[in-house]
Structure 1
Amino acid sequence: MTLGASALLFPAVAASGVSGEDYILAKAALLIVVPLIAVFLVRGSVAVSAERAAWRWWAPAIAIAVWAILRSMVDSSPDYSGVDATTLLIAATATAVTAGFGEELFYRRLLQTRLEALLSPWAGTTIATAAFALMHLGSHATGDLLFDTASVIVVQGSFGLLMGVIWMRFRNFTAIVTAHVLANGWPSIVWHVLAR
């Protein structure tokens, strides 16, 4: 119940125009703190088990590497020349914590796992992926709701589906968090490499 409320409430907060520090605090509260407290209070209701095997690392790494190569073919590098290094580092760190870690914790580890147990692995993955994609409506809005919805479903939804399938299949939280941190940091990394 609490996870569903957070999944609905955060996009509404993001769409309300909240930005900067308030956006980061809202995301941390609604996608990390509140869900962790809720799950702690009912701990043991859903267990995550996975084999300890090398393929849990190399198989997701191959899928993520293929995705990264495909993304680099279609993604343009932004210009960060007007942003000082300290601001860029603070923004990158906040994004890594709230998006890379927080979104994977909430949408995959907490929400998807419970939806899989309640419905089925594919249904849980699909619903969590849709919630993940639609969550980006507030932060990726252009004002055209139809275009924005299609855009987040294609762009964030495809990435969310990749992370969801990797979580469903391999239960490797470190791999999906690493992939998400790199995905969000990729434009900055490319800009730093090409700008030097």
Structure 2
Amino acid sequence: MRNKTLRPSLSHPALGLGLLVTGLTLIAGSALWLALNGDTSLRYSADHTGTVPMWHRWIPALAGLMLIRLLPPKTTFVGGAPAGRGLHLQAIALLTSAVLFTVVLWLSGGGEPIHTLLKLGFLLAAPALLFWLSRRDSTGQGLIHETPATWRHYGPIVPVVAWLAFTYTGPLAVPPSNYAATVDPVTLLITFAVVFVVNSLLEEVFYRRWLQTRWERILGRWPAIVLASLLWAAWHVGIQGAGHLPADLASAFVNQGVQGLFLGYLWSRYRLMWPILVVHGAMNAAPILLSML
């Protein structure tokens, strides 16, 4: 039997509903626009120009979303008053940092080391400074808490395994990468470690743990998930875009945007880092690891 859930009061429910409708319409409209233009193949990596049909990216994410819904966590959300001034300021500052990262990366051309330096600046240094400056004003500002439950630690296994199976086995499998054959073992291990920390860990902490969690408290669960997903998707234009901004944004929204919905729902339902780190880590490492089997 499902535990009752006490939802905290939202600060801007009407704004949240508008953002939810707008965001989902943007994703659906992007897919329709690409289909009408006969451009339904998506780049799945910034390392090369290989593509897969866009529905190959949707099916694993949609299957994962449904499984998360069918396997709810047995936790209780603690309600409270609407988010205060400190939390609003943090949420807006994080949103601004995400937008600036996307714009500056795109304007810079997205190459290295500028990509990593901008990510460390906007997604790590800026939030760290923000939290330090607002530490007295944001304590106890009503971030969502849950009571511990054993099921919460094991529930994510099913959707995560399903996503991995759909994405890397069978007819929908992402093609393997030959990167491992081009470098020595030490370089490969260092690459895995750096990519995991700078990409998987930093991005999930910023977009899901920090940004999404705060906007959930202000707008509601799904508006915040959609907002974080679109912001996370948009910055990929800087490293995967082909130079045509409307098409690049549309591709990002129907690729990383849909993957972001899965990641965001995983975080929102279970409030555990390991599921989203496994999924995001697999996005970067699995094609290389599979080529070594």
Taking structure 1 as the reference length, the TM-score comes to: 0.89
Q: Is the 8 A contact 2:110 2:239 kept in 1?
A: no
Which of 28, 33, 51 aligns to 2:147? It is 51
Q: Which has the larger radius of gyration?
A: 2
Q: Is the 8 A contact 2:143 2:214 kept in 1?
A: no
Q: Deviations over 1:69-128 (max 9, x none)?
A: 111133111212223333333332221112111111111111111111111111111111
**Matched AA of 1:61:** I
1:103 aligns with 2:195: no
* Rounded Cα–Cα distance in structure 1 between residues aligned with 2:119 and 2:190: 16
Offset of residue 146 of structure 1: 3.2
Task: Name the count of aligned residue pairs.
Answer: 193
1:4 aligns with 2:100: no
What secondary structure does 1:63 align onto? helix
Please say which of residues 107-116 and 21-30 is displaced more in the overlay.
Answer: 21-30
Which aligned pairs between 1:84-99 and structure 2 lie closer than 5 A? 84-99=184-199
Counting aligned pairs with the same residue, the percent is 32
**Matched AA of 1:165:** Y
Look up the match of 2:126.
Answer: 34
**Matched AA of 2:122:** L
Please say which of residues 86-95 and 168-177 is displaced more in the overlay.
Answer: 86-95
Offset of residue 46 of structure 1: 4.7
1:20 aligns with 2:112: yes
Look up the match of 1:151.
Answer: 251
* Rounded Cα–Cα distance in structure 2 between residues aligned with 1:70 and 1:26: 33
* Rounded Cα–Cα distance in structure 1 between residues aligned with 2:122 and 2:189: 24
Offset of residue 48 of structure 1: 4.2
* Rounded Cα–Cα distance in structure 2 between residues aligned with 1:57 and 1:153: 30
What secondary structure does 1:75 align onto? coil
Q: Is the 8 A contact 1:130 1:153 kept in 2?
A: yes
Look up the match of 1:174.
Answer: 274
CA RMSD of aligned residues (A): 1.8
Change in 2 beyond 3 A, CA 1:83/1:151:
farther
Q: Deviations over 1:21-53 (max 9, x none)?
A: 232121112112211221233242353422322
From the two aligned structures, give the one with the greater helix fraction: 1
**Matched AA of 1:146:** P
* Rounded Cα–Cα distance in structure 1 between residues aligned with 2:246 and 2:191: 29
Q: Deviations over 1:107-156 (max 9, x none)?
A: 11111111111111111111111111112111111223333222211221
* Rounded Cα–Cα distance in structure 1 between residues aligned with 2:274 and 2:134: 24
Please say which of residues 151-160 and 85-94 is displaced more in the overlay.
Answer: 85-94
* Rounded Cα–Cα distance in structure 1 between residues aligned with 2:166 and 2:285: 16
Unaligned regions of 5+ residues in structure 2, if any? 1-91
Offset of residue 174 of structure 1: 2.7
Which of 131, 137, 155 aligns to 2:231? It is 131
* Rounded Cα–Cα distance in structure 2 between residues aligned with 1:156 and 1:106: 16
Change in 2 beyond 3 A, CA 1:8/1:191:
same
Q: Is the 8 A contact 1:46 1:114 kept in 2?
A: no
Taking structure 2 as the reference length, the TM-score comes to: 0.61
* Rounded Cα–Cα distance in structure 2 between residues aligned with 1:18 and 1:141: 9
Unaligned regions of 5+ residues in structure 1, if any? none
